[in-house]
Amino acid sequence: MGRGISGFKAPGRKTLLASALAVALVALGTAAHATVAAEAQFVLNTFSFLICGALVMWMCAGFTMLEAGSVRTKNASMICMKNIGLYSIAGLAYYLVGYNLMYVDVGQWIGSVQFLYGPSADELALLAGDEGAQSAVVDAGSSKMSGWFFQMVFVATTASIISGTLAERVNLWCFFIFTACLAAVIYPLVGAWTWGEGWLYELGFKDFAGSTIVHSTGGWAALAGAIIIGPRLGKFRDDGSIKPTPPSNIPAVTLGVFILWLGWFGFNGGSQLALASTIDAVAMSIVFVNTNLAAAAGVVAAIIVSRPILGRVDLLAVLNGAIAGLVSITAAPDLVDHYWAVVIGAIGGVVVVGGIKLLEVCRIDDVVGAVPAHLFAGIWGTIAVCIAGGGNIGAQLAGIAAVGVFVMAVSSIIWLVLKKTMGARVSSEVESLGQDAAELGIEAYPEFMLMPDQDDLDDLRRDA
């Protein structure tokens, strides 16, 4: 008879104890591994928020370089003041009330009307030495304040759009007051409707990283300000011609665009909102590639169309083509088919060049082309979600219209109140002399001789 069941020898007591111990060790090892894995996921997600948020914060440097290089020399220092001021004010306003309105206990329209925001009770307990709180902290998926930080830097980007459009004539304190209103109320309400899972979210509106929520919001606010405050003195002549205002530093503008391009990887990539799994890593990689392709396509398209539309191969329009490509893809950078990113970015490049021409025809003075790059391209990018991103055209159009009407109306009211009470723009004397010398008492390039304005020279010669 072979070694069947009758030939099986029962294990002894020592063997059973050894086997039980081995099973227990395996079980404990598995549990320990699971704990480490969960904690590792928490760390990776938190790290992603912090690093991507830091990249988005660095976009403030890009906006500063772009705007300071785009304005005339006599206003470059004021741009630096406005940009560091707006980042600080926006961050404080979002901390005091904005984040709560956008994300805490959001209903259909608005979140929690309360002040301040901070770590969770479990996180505070863990910091105080309560190791039993670690499980609850890890279960949250990421540090509470890392998520706040990532969201905060987005509102600073929104405010930076307005700074460039209204450069060289907006009153500094009025601009800071408007920035506080934008960060505390306007942007958070738009965010509550969408990312806060309010009524637009329930309608099916899609905006992955903010073509409308961030860029169009900033663009609408900037457009309202440009219309109410008006153009720079002499920008549009009585004969219908446009007075050229050459940028003070083209290399700075170009560097600023490259900084923005770099920061956009954090802007779009971080909006994956996780980096704790294989699928998150793959998805973030796709977002990075689409972001880069769209920007490149926007540049090439702007080079091609700038001559027929503007009459020249315009470097500033081409640089805005990169930004427009980035804004356009921001609503759906997670597209699996990369060629759609090229198409969407290229159309964004065409949109921005056409938008620059349209503003000239409408006699709206946008110093850096922020309205075409952020508002017009943002609208296009939000619609483009319907092409390959699974968006519903009705929901997308409803989101565009709702955000446009709300932001334009509220921004116009605030700008009008500021205009009537404080004076939203500087005096003609300050504007002619330059805000650097007249308001700050410091010039950006003191070693250089400031050349007189050609129109002023022509007027002087005629008077003589």
Average pLDDT over residues 49-78: 95
CA 2 distance to own-chain centroid: 76
Question: What CATH architecture does domain 39-455 belong to?
Answer: Orthogonal Bundle (1.10)
Grade residue 17 by pLDDT with cuts at 50, 70 and 90.
very low
More confident residue, 365 or 38: 365
Given this model, what pLDDT does residue 9 score?
Answer: 37
Determine the Cα–Cα distance for residues 108 and 127; give it in Å rounded to an integer: 35
Residue-wise pLDDT tens digits, 351-394: 999 999 999 999 999 999 999 999 999 999 999 999 887 889 99
Of residues 115, 60, 104, 100, the one with CA closest to residue 83: 60
Query: Angle formed by the axes of helices 315-329 and 278-310, to 10°?
Result: 150
Residue-wise pLDDT tens digits, 255-274: 999 999 999 999 999 999 99
Of residues 235, 97, 112, 197, the one with CA closest to residue 155: 97
What percentage of the chain has pLDDT greater than the value 70?
Answer: 89
pTM confidence score? 0.86
Determine the Cα–Cα distance for residues 271 and 200; give it in Å rounded to an integer: 18
Grade residue 241 by pLDDT with cuts at 50, 70 and 90.
confident
Beta bridge partners of 27: none
More confident residue, 228 or 448: 228
Given this model, what pLDDT does residue 458 score?
Answer: 66
**For the chain, what is the mean pLDDT?**
88
Instruction: Measure the CA angle with vertex 422, ends 402 and 367; round to 5°.
Output: 60
Beta bridge partners of 170: 425
